[in-house]
Amino acid sequence: MNSASAPAATGSPVGQINQPSSPPQSSNAIGAVSQPKNFSPLVRQFLDYLKLERHFSDYTIKSYGADLIQFGQFLNGEIGAGSAMQTQQAFAQGMPLDERLLKCEPLTIREFLAYLYGQNYTKSTTARKLATLRSFYKFLIRRGLLSVNPLSTIRTPKQEKRLPKTLDLEQVQKLLDAPGDADLLSARDKAMLEVLYSSGMRVSELVELEMQDIDLQEGVLRVRGKGRKDRLTPIGSQAIKALQRYFELRQHDSRCQQSTHASRVFLNKHGEPLSTRSVRRKLDKYLVQAGLDPGISPHTLRHSFATHLLNNGADLRSVQELLGHQSLSTTQIYTHLTTNRIKQAYDAAHPRANEGTIPHPAATGRDLPRYQKAV
């Protein structure tokens, strides 16, 4: 398939994937994070470490920074003032935030957890914030600034194991048809949704796609995953067609052509790179148009991608590689979504599956409680 012509951009044209460029030598790792006046230099060093040494994505660094800013505000008494009596008593007024961070004790962490609980944070969000603090204090220990991690005795709240929400094929089709491709922005949105579903990439990976990462002739993308771990992932004919249409319209748009961000694939109407929040807003719009559940997120397309592959016979290891999961156990959650399909195939194919037995409800449509009572 011939590659569509694309807007002028720095780097190589669409159709050939270049080798990754060398990592930046300097960064403003926290530029996207709203910084209070007393922003901690220790936190700044930690976020720079995540970017320059660990190669975390800007989106992940922004999340870490937001968690640490919130914790700093708690230590300063700016939030949770009514519940942090120990914090208020232990830290003298005017003490620099860095000193407060270094003198933090397990009791302070527990008070912070109590504050989060009082604010109705979910267990998963609380666990993520604790993970941020654990990483931060491990960093301080490695730098020789602390000898004991104040979170060493803090247990992470047990999280509910919830199966990923997915769309069926009919719902996916409705969503992908919603934008149309009559104009530049509609064509961009259609290409965006097609690529998300066709590749299974994360939305944070989507917004960082560059023109040189796309090879339409071969039908592959280079995805910059977590920790700067690049992977090649194929895309289907419908995604290729949508990208070709988008590039065809984009090359006639002066703002895209003249943008300093022209190397990015997905730009807004001002020629700026789309943010993950912008992608979510676009998705919300098309969910309404398609008459689908407004609670669906961009990650739902990733879940649907994995589930549909497994339902159609893909092996778990291949799906792991396509998703960019480091551990196979992370991918195995999708196998729970395919149990009924496997049971139906078994009941239909095995010569003794139903001989003298009570068929499984997945094969007969009977409700599960009655089945369990019968056996």
Catalytic residues: 202, 226, 299, 302, 325, 334
* Dihedral angle of Cα 52, 54, 56, 60, to the nearest 10 degrees: -110
Pick from 343, 262, 308, 267: nearest CA to 14: 262
76-98 CB burial, b ≥16 within 10 A, e <16: beebbeebbeebeebbeeeeebb
* Cα 15 to Cα 58: distance, rounded to the nearest angstrom: 27
Is residue 163 left, alpha or beta, with left meaning phi > 0 and alpha meaning psi from -120 to 50? beta
Pick from 207, 176, 221, 253: nearest CA to 324: 221
Is residue 61 left, alpha or beta, with left meaning phi > 0 and alpha meaning psi from -120 to 50? alpha
Residue bearing tokens 């669409």:
14
Residue bearing tokens 């000193």:
99
- Cβ atoms of 176 and 194 within 8 Å: the answer is yes
* Cα 27 to Cα 223: distance, rounded to the nearest angstrom: 21
Angle at 63 between CA 61 and CA 64, to 5 degrees: 65
* Cα 301 to Cα 294: distance, rounded to the nearest angstrom: 13
Contacts of 280 (CB under 8 A, 6+ apart): 203, 297, 298
Reduced to 3 states, what is the DSSP secondary structure of residue 17?
coil
